[in-house]
Structure 1
């Protein structure tokens, strides 16, 4: 299909709306051109379809932003990448991943992104407008960057991965633990996204209740059938192969991160589902001496603030690298410090100058810096038939994500709460947060969920960071939970709070307590859990404090 100018008023209005919504730099021109359904040959004889956006009168040194996506090349992607970047002087090539939206083959998540990405760059090198290249995009679009980054040709001058990581879905596949909300939700979304009206159904939440019901299916291996009416390959692969399985060897690009020589600006969010992995990717780059930068904002996966940041860095920092001009100055690490609402610059992650300090769980629901004395454990019962719900925090879907008031959750009998005295001075916490909790359970397997919250003067309890681990108790057992990293100031007059429970459903699949594989279990069994907090078992959360 040929090039045609896009001088339409509707398109210009969309461009202006996106600029205002995301607070983007002003457009250099609202006049753009577009070529649709370009055909890109792959190494194995398949064809990928692509769209080329460009300024109507591009500069001779205009770089090309490559965006590879399984989500289609129209609608939001047109506005957020195609038009928005073309209006700011870049060529933009958006490519549909194999098996999606007209591209040949079957879509197998993560499976073909390295080979198809390199094929795309070879094709682009032969185009008269190709020029130098920047890679950009969010989530799966960011993973497609990592898939080719270590082998990228010299024409690739910069990359801007946003809310993503070099191993993507493997982050959710820890042994014996399954993040069903993310993995089933994404499976259903990608399985149905090309049906008529799929975008509006997603926006309006049509079908959401069916998927939520499916997350309760037993055995878990049948949940995709309950949601879709048939099995879905990616969901089944995730159930049967954890992140340590050699099955994923070709899809895990984390071993090659240190070999990436392309300058990288990583954009992350404190409540994003990929945060921990994205921080590790950055640390590997820095340890290898690479040109790497990190920005972490108060964002979750679909937050517009993060989208604005990735587009801003693509237009400014990355495009400058591609043009051979001096890029805007970026500190190695830029963090939004929650609680005080300010951006701060650092030289590394985690920042130096913070010391891990223990806040001990105490009898009667206290949280204090002094270790406990002799006291009986505090107990609760977890019932997978009435599971402890997940609330806020990292979610794939924006609805309900991020910091929320936890008081309703904390009122449940299956959630233990440990709260400090009112703070007489600010407590600044920046870095990796860990919990060490001593427990005993009466089943061969249970989960332990730990969450750190900030309680304000009105009693609102806002979640800051958390995580869940699978436990196979052997008597009184010390369990270490690495909570998600954070940067937060607990203000004077506030209180720190730690939640301890045995589940967070549907974010994490229920532990039915039988000790067997979670995807085949069918019989829910209650689990009695005791949490110890005495001198011999000093359960605590360890906070990196100034």
Structure 2
């Protein structure tokens, strides 16, 4: 590397090959050998690709300190330059990988000169702070601590720890959070310390980690795989739309998967083989003509789309009512709904997009029975309602304290009354960022808060009902809002916060659903099981 640090890699070369070949570069912090090599490098090598699997800085023998996301651009570009100087490289380089080693591609591809031949940044995103670490201002502490424990222990003990889930949950109950990494990893983890120390608005520490402001027109062809329950999903879909707008050939597959589920990884392997064969060896183009393939959940079928979001959708609002209902039009007048958020007993969350199971859908009864959650339910549907695209909400709210979170969740209520989450979103209110692009002050302290929920492809069946939850948090997925300006890592004292949620003609709080024409005809693939790839 330019600073003299050496990074180690495993080099796979086809037996008997004497001529220079293109290189498939994989940069990974989880070890260049063992399980990850068997999952990602070996399958490509067995099919005749030359693979260079590199351990990122500070991991598994590579020099320096592992400070995640902050050194991958410089190290990645230096690696490209080194590879092109090797006699066994013909100058053509592609990259692939998922999650963190998907992000290492975003750190390189927009800046590479000469450009890469193609990339496959799966289950990841070009930007990691605003949508992942601090989702619209709210720190994702469950993901942050789970991953910190994993990378903190990986070189001391490569075996899975069955007690990890319980340790993470117990540690997140503590205050302050600044040093709870020791409780789960056995030692301080630099990433966790960076995560808690650099969460304030305007902190430039993570500038090297975000590449969503790069010139996407310089990107090579892109293939991506992700899942509807993957925590990177929102960023991935934003990246795909931006790539197509920049004129980049791009493809994406979105299945019914949590982060790293077997079905998701099988789809990664399948699409990678076809993608690399086409771009590096002149093989046939991918079989699917449509650039976007998404699994329509609860309908058990794939949709083949020409774009994302699909132009065929229409925006259908569901307005919150004072009687707890949902209607197409707002109520003329109604008293606001109220609740009090208490950081000592924070509103819990169940299911959703998490780094590790349990996640996905869950029975929301334990949450909806709480006094700090407002619930609004529509009538039973007379026909299937297919939602394909971005779900949005606008909530008119007044809070007793200026520091607060607005959490909105969309649910599917079956005929037996079981409420299961579909998508959700959060917006942290902070005087330093309010008002802003997505928060407008209306009058008398009332704020119109735009909440971006996850995108989805989901069928709410006939006889089911749509439900919306509004609350002041979702712990421990997100850090509890203490109601003060103290950074979340050092805060120990919280204050209760009274919320008023308005839903009348002057304050039409609502969710807006992307309704897709009934799935059928030529745009629909054959039915498959949700666990298949």
TM-score by length of 2: 0.87
Task: Give the CA deviation at 1:537.
Answer: 2.0
For residue 372 of structure 2, what is the aligned residue in structure 1?
Answer: 414
Q: Distance in 1 between matches of 2:36 and 2:472?
A: 40
* Structural mapping, 1:222-241, within 5 Å: 222-228=179-185, 231-241=188-198
Shift of 1:101: 0.3
For residues 8-407 of structure 1, the aligned pairs below 5 Å read: 42-56=1-15, 63-131=22-90, 132-154=92-114, 156-169=116-129, 171=131, 172-173=133-134, 176-195=137-156, 197-201=157-161, 205-228=162-185, 231-242=188-199, 244-329=202-287, 330-397=289-356, 399-407=357-365
The match for 1:530 is 500
Match of 2:491 among 502, 521, 527: 521
- Where do 5+ consecutive residues of structure 1 fail to align? 1-41
Change (3 A) 1:50 1:480: same
Contact 2:129 2:135 in 1 (8 A): no
Distance, in Å, in 2 between the alignment partners of 1:103 and 1:181 is: 28
SS at match of 1:198: coil
- Shift of residue 471, structure 1, vs aligned partner: 2.6
2:470 counterpart residue number: 500
After the TM superposition, which of the residue ranges 463-472 and 149-158 deviates more from structure 2? 149-158
- Alpha carbons 1:452, 1:465 under 8 Å: kept: yes
How much does 1:45 deviate?
A: 1.9
Q: Which residue is equivalent to 2:527?
A: none
**Does the Cα contact within 8 Å between 2:377 and 2:468 map onto a contact in 1?**
yes
* Larger deviation, residues 497-506 vs 356-365: 356-365
2:470 pairs with 1:509: no
Distance 1:57 1:338 in 2: 47
**Comparing 143-152 and 530-539, the one that deviates more:** 530-539
User: Cα distance 1:514–1:117, how it changes in 2: closer, same or farther (>3 A)?
Assistant: closer
Q: In the aligned structure 2, how far is the partner of 1:50 from the partner of 1:339?
A: 43
2:394 aligns with 436
Could you tell me which residue of structure 2 aligns to residue 480 of structure 1? 450
1:54 Cα deviation from its structure 2 partner: 4.4
Please tell me whether the aligned partners of residues 95 and 119 of structure 2 are also in contact (alpha carbons under 8 angstroms).
yes
Q: Alpha-carbon deviation of 1:126? A: 4.2
CA–CA distance in 2 between the matches of 1:299 and 1:448? 26
How far the C-alpha of 1:226 sits from its partner, in A, is 4.7
Q: Secondary structure at the match of 1:220?
A: coil
Q: How many residues align?
A: 500
8 Å CA contact retained: 1:69, 1:141: yes
- Is contact 1:63-1:319 (8 Å) kept? no
Q: Partner residue of 1:30?
A: none
Cα pair 2:135 2:426 within 8 Å, conserved: no
Partner of 2:347, secondary structure, is coil
8 Å contact kept, 1:368–1:420: yes
Query: How far apart are residue 97 of structure 1 and its match?
Result: 0.4
What RMSD, in angstroms, separates the aligned Cα atoms of the two structures? 2.4
Partner Cα distance (1:56, 1:217) in 2: 55
Partner of residue 29, structure 1: none
- Residue of 384, 392, 415 corresponding to 1:457: 415
3-state DSSP of counterpart to 1:102: coil
Q: Is the 8 A contact 1:167 1:252 kept in 2?
A: yes
Whole-Å Cα distance in 2 between the matches of residues 533 and 57 of structure 1? 72
Q: What SS does the corresponding residue of 1:250 show, helix, strand or coil?
A: helix
Shift in Å, 1:152: 2.9
Residues 1:540 and 2:510 are matched in the alignment = yes
Task: Tell me the secondary structure at the aligned position of residue 123 of structure 1.
Answer: helix
Structure 2 residues without counterparts, runs of 5 or longer: 431-440, 517-533
Q: Residue 375 of structure 1 contacts residue 534 of structure 1 at CA under 8 Å; is this kept in 2?
A: yes
**Aligned-pair CA distance for 1:377:** 2.1
The offset of 1:154, in angstroms, is 4.6
* Matched-pair contact (CA < 8 Å) for 1:62–1:89: no
Q: Is the 8 A contact 2:71 2:208 kept in 1?
A: no
Give the SS at the match of 2:235: helix
**Per-residue deviation, residues 283-332 of structure 1 (Å, max 9, x unmatched):** 22111111112222222212222211221121112221111233224422
Which of 440, 461, 480 pairs up with 1:491? 461
1:453 deviation in Å? 1.1
Contact 2:150 2:185 in 1 (8 A): no
Q: CA deviation at 1:57?
A: 5.9
What's the offset of the Cα at 1:505?
A: 0.7
Q: Shift of the alpha carbon at 1:515?
A: 4.3
Residue range with higher mean Cα deviation, 506-515 or 54-63: 54-63
CA drift at 1:393: 0.8
The 2-side partners of 1:173 and 1:488 are apart by 26
What TM-score do you get using the length of structure 1 for normalisation? Answer: 0.85
Distance 1:316 1:62 in 2: 18
